[in-house]
Amino acid sequence: MSKLQRAMLSSFCIAICALSGCSQADRQKQQSAAQAAAVDVNAIADQIRQIEAQWVSEYASGDTGGLVDHYAHDATLMQPGVPAIRGMDRIAGAMADAIKDGAAFSINTEKVEVAKSGDWAYSRGTYTLAATNRGNKLDGRHTGSYLTIYKKQEDGSWKAVEDITT
């Protein structure tokens, strides 16, 4: 094989490698685009809104178990004037106390944003919490804002990982 033939063969191999690399990169981009297109962020946003409506309903009915089930095992709940509450057991205690105090809870979800990957979402809005402190018989009405960050779980459910009220 002459030097010219080897050079031509080498150039041909380099060209084939370059082309196959490009086509592999193109295939990867197409797969990523197909996966992103498969994520229906609007449907997920609707699902988050339904979860929040269910949350309010469970609060009204005193369903502590249902309320706590909206949180991931290692979630954090932050409320004004109290230290952060971490973990489902402590969140369950806080929810049980709020229900026991006769609190009424409502929210107005203003925005739900879903990551293009379909595994994270957040909602924000305003809330009203009306409670009677049975210890001193004083009524309290609190209004504020909230931000809840959701993470899609391995079973496909959505759980709050951070729940922050102001």
Burial readout 134-149 (b: 16 or more C-beta within 10 A, e: otherwise):
eeeeeeeeeeeebebb
pTM equals: 0.74
Cβ-contact 139, 131 below 8 angstroms: yes
Is residue 87 domain-shared with residue 133, that is, in the same domain?
yes
Share of the chain above pLDDT 70, in %: 73
Q: Where are the beta strands (DSSP E) in the chain?
A: 71-78, 85-86, 104-114, 120-133, 138-152, 158-165
Is residue 124 domain-shared with residue 66, that is, in the same domain?
yes
Mean pLDDT, to the nearest integer, of 21-29? 60
Is residue 61 domain-shared with residue 18, that is, in the same domain?
no
Is residue 137 domain-shared with residue 147, that is, in the same domain?
yes
Distance CA 9, CA 84 (A): 68
Bigger pLDDT: 101 vs 159: 159
Is residue 93 domain-shared with residue 132, that is, in the same domain?
yes
Is residue 19 domain-shared with residue 47, that is, in the same domain?
no
Q: Which residues pair with 163 in a beta bridge?
A: 77, 148
Is residue 49 domain-shared with residue 123, that is, in the same domain?
yes
pLDDT > 90? residue 78: yes
Whole-angstrom CA distances from 166 to 64, 81, 116, 129 are: 22, 9, 28, 12
Is residue 45 domain-shared with residue 5, that is, in the same domain?
no
pLDDT > 70? residue 23: no
| The total number of structural domains that make up the chain | 2
Is residue 24 domain-shared with residue 66, that is, in the same domain?
no
Is residue 114 domain-shared with residue 157, that is, in the same domain?
yes
Bigger pLDDT: 67 vs 10: 67
Q: How confident is the model at residue 38 (pLDDT cuts 50, 70, 90)?
A: confident
pLDDT tens-digit readout, 118-139: 999 999 999 998 876 655 455 6
Mean pLDDT, to the nearest integer, of 49-56? 96
Can you give the residue range of the structural domain that contains 113? 40-165
For the domain that residue 68 is a member of, what is the CATH number?
A: 3.10.450.50
Is residue 34 domain-shared with residue 46, that is, in the same domain?
no
Is residue 29 domain-shared with residue 46, that is, in the same domain?
no
